[in-house]
Structure 1
Amino acid sequence: MLHLVAIVIKTLSFTTRILFMIFSGLIISELLIETGIIKKFEKKFEGIAKLANLPPICGITLVTALGSTVSADTILQNFRENKKLNETEVLLASILNSTVMPIRQTFTYHLPVILPMLGLYVGLVYISTLWLGFLVLFFFVVVAGRIILKRGDTTSAMVEKNILAGEKSLKKVVKKSVKRFIRIAIIFVVTTFAVFTLMDFGLLEGIKEFVAPFARLLNLPPSIFLPLAAYIASPIVGFSMISSLLQSGAICEREAIIALLFGSIFMLPIVYLRYNFPLWISIFGFKLGVLRGLINLSFLMLTRVLVLALFCLIA
């Protein structure tokens, strides 16, 4: 019983901050739609959206993603439910939103955390690989948008120029947002609880045991197995342990890079299972949420596999 309570507390602790961002995004999106403010911002950022034949309205969510991708995705779903974007436009726009993540993370995580821990060379290779993955995603959105979507034939183009049919009070906006928020919150909390329960019953340990034989095939020294497992469970802990091995000379820079890239291939699915999939399913629904996650995960893993293969070929 106490064990179950601990999982519940962990779930609530993990989801509280994210649910706050989702609720904020719902309020913002309702206000943007109901007051017509969004029309004032579309022109400034519609150029990037136009590259993928996305409606101009997607430009504002791209800018929002610089601050919070959760809020940006929530706004997209609101546009979808208000018939201003169709499912395909929401999918591509959401993936486009994720491509700005490296910009924010460079100043909040990469430069202050990764580089000091891993050193200039190892840190830059690792960060560049992360950037490459999102760059590939960006080109995917552009190419897919130009193939699937037709310029000037998007849903938002059929929306009346004046979105505001009649001013609504803040009270009504909040009421509408709360109704949608409750549905999203229930799905997110329940899904997260299920994932944490699976993790607690040994799913993560099984993954760690699965990784070790493959690490040996890459000729990684045994001293890096524990840091590698730690990295898969918690990147920050893994960074610090690998940093210690580098400084002591137990491993070389090439081995550190291979270990990080190899570990990230297994770490990504765990992160997506614990966080991204529950979040996107709660926002977009099961079908679109899963598809959204699989596309992102596939391209990010593919780029890391290719870079890993390159370093494994280096003598």
Structure 2
Amino acid sequence: MVIAALIDTLGLLWRELGHPLVRLLTFISIGLIVAGFIEAMNWTRKMSVVAAPMIRFGHLSDLTGAAFSMAFFSGVAANTMLSEAYEQGRLSKKELFLANMFNSLPAYFLHLPTTFFLTLPLIKGATFIYIGLTLGAALLRTLGIAVLSHFLLGPENLTGKHGQREAESVNFRLAGQRTIVRFKKRIRKIIRLTLPVYIIFFGLSEAGMFQLLEEVMADHLTWLAWLSPKAVSIIALQIAAEFSAGLVAAGVLLQDGTMTYKEIVMTLLIGNVLSSPIRAVRHQFPYYAGIFKPRLAMQLIVFSQSFRAFSIALVALLYFFLVM
């Protein structure tokens, strides 16, 4: 009996803690290697061409442009690139925050296929409205940061330290050696930070802390009395369970004609905003703390999530008042 219980406990720890942690560290390691190699090969200027007009207008550096391009394929690699540049003094703290929020658009596209194919079977035509509005919010965030950066960063930022090694010729072998050296140094620090943070958050999750917070939020939605009880129930599911749970409920109510496309879309947008804070701290912080210092990671999450919530709330208001 004791051995069986021990095996079950070890199995649970591996499924809920070990495997997710190994997976997280694997993706961070891949991101470190990719970002390190790109930097070693001096490809940042070439990669920044994708967002060149916005980069120039926003007085952002080539490193920010390269991170923007990389974020379409790997958010970990993009953030790793920004983190290393900041720690090496080649990126100011101000630009680090701006660059992190500037990557809203590629980060959105990275998760778009999953979101689209999850929503389409459940809410059908409303999917295109919901996706269009959330995409508009992501585009608004990126364009907004470009405008904000134009005033917060001076033109001299375009010709900063990040371009000093541009003329250096580096072959693949030398770049690989530099990448390995930097990876070994960086991964040790990341593991030292990530392990305790992830274990603490796992303990909080197992103790029911996040579930309790989600239930408290779900139970205090009286200020949404202007919405129908069915809409409030969908939002409560999004907060207390998962986005997919709210989608299923929305799909059922849409199918039986209880709610219209507009009501479904508005409800999902509101639930998106309200469910974001806890999910960001629960899922995003352990990964961010492995790339940035914990305090800086929390600051980045607060700024980016606040900006995200504001943009979604704005497009929701426009949709509510402009669409009959």
Name the TM-score, length of structure 1 as normaliser: 0.83
Kindly state the Cα deviation for residue 285 of structure 1 after the two structures are TM-superposed.
Answer: 1.5
Measured against aligned partners, the alpha-carbon deviations of 1:27-46 in whole angstroms (never above 9, x if no partner) come to 12222233334454445653
| 2:296 alignment counterpart | 288
Q: What is the alpha-carbon root mean square deviation over aligned residues?
A: 3.2
Bigger mean CA offset, 67-76 vs 25-34:
25-34
User: Which structure 2 residues correspond to residues 272-283 of structure 1 after superposition, within 5 A?
Assistant: 272-283=280-291
Residue 152 in 1 paired to residue 159 in 2? no
Bigger mean CA offset, 138-147 vs 252-261:
252-261
1:29 maps to amino acid: A
Residue 161 in 1 paired to residue 166 in 2? yes
Kindly state the Cα deviation for residue 53 of structure 1 after the two structures are TM-superposed.
Answer: 0.5
Residue 200 in 1 paired to residue 206 in 2? yes
Separation of aligned partners in 2, 1:112 and 1:99? 19
Bigger mean CA offset, 141-150 vs 184-193:
184-193
| 1:67 alignment counterpart | 73
User: Which structure 2 residues correspond to residues 154-193 of structure 1 after superposition, within 5 A?
Assistant: 154-156=159-161, 159-163=164-168, 168=174, 170-171=176-177, 173-193=179-199
User: Which structure 2 residues correspond to residues 296-307 of structure 1 after superposition, within 5 A?
Assistant: 296-307=304-315
1:142 maps to amino acid: A
| 1:97 alignment counterpart | 103
How many residues align structurally?
A: 313
Flag the 1:65–1:248 CA change in 2: closer, same or farther, 3 A.
same
Contact 1:8 1:193 in 2 (8 A): no
2:221 maps to amino acid: F
Kindly state the Cα deviation for residue 82 of structure 1 after the two structures are TM-superposed.
Answer: 3.4
Measured against aligned partners, the alpha-carbon deviations of 1:44-77 in whole angstroms (never above 9, x if no partner) come to 6533322210112322221111111111111122
Residue 109 in 1 paired to residue 117 in 2? no
Separation of aligned partners in 2, 1:94 and 1:152? 20
Question: Which runs of 5 or more residues in structure 1 are unaligned?
Answer: none
2:136 maps to amino acid: L
Bigger mean CA offset, 135-144 vs 50-59:
135-144
Residue 48 in 1 paired to residue 30 in 2? no
2:131 maps to amino acid: I
Contact 2:285 2:298 in 1 (8 A): yes
Kindly state the Cα deviation for residue 294 of structure 1 after the two structures are TM-superposed.
Answer: 1.4
Question: Which runs of 5 or more residues in structure 2 are unaligned?
Answer: none
2:302 maps to amino acid: L
Measured against aligned partners, the alpha-carbon deviations of 1:85-135 in whole angstroms (never above 9, x if no partner) come to 2322222222212322233333x1243222332121x32332233223323
Flag the 1:39–1:266 CA change in 2: closer, same or farther, 3 A.
closer
Separation of aligned partners in 1, 2:221 and 2:318? 17
Separation of aligned partners in 1, 2:215 and 2:279? 14
Kindly state the Cα deviation for residue 218 of structure 1 after the two structures are TM-superposed.
Answer: 2.8
Flag the 1:229–1:90 CA change in 2: closer, same or farther, 3 A.
same
Bigger mean CA offset, 207-216 vs 90-99:
207-216
Flag the 1:7–1:225 CA change in 2: closer, same or farther, 3 A.
farther
User: Which structure 2 residues correspond to residues 252-291 of structure 1 after superposition, within 5 A?
Assistant: 252-291=260-299
Contact 1:53 1:151 in 2 (8 A): yes
Name the TM-score, length of structure 2 as normaliser: 0.81
Measured against aligned partners, the alpha-carbon deviations of 1:248-276 in whole angstroms (never above 9, x if no partner) come to 23434344234322322221112211122
Separation of aligned partners in 2, 1:102 and 1:251? 27
| Match 2:244 to one of 229, 236, 241 | 236
Separation of aligned partners in 2, 1:77 and 1:288? 10
Kindly state the Cα deviation for residue 241 of structure 1 after the two structures are TM-superposed.
Answer: 2.4
Flag the 1:240–1:253 CA change in 2: closer, same or farther, 3 A.
same
Separation of aligned partners in 2, 1:279 and 1:171? 26
Flag the 1:221–1:199 CA change in 2: closer, same or farther, 3 A.
farther
Give SS of 2:90's match: coil
Bigger mean CA offset, 274-283 vs 41-50:
41-50
Contact 2:40 2:175 in 1 (8 A): no
Flag the 1:235–1:57 CA change in 2: closer, same or farther, 3 A.
same
Flag the 1:189–1:226 CA change in 2: closer, same or farther, 3 A.
farther
Matched residues, percent identical? 21
Separation of aligned partners in 2, 1:169 and 1:261? 45
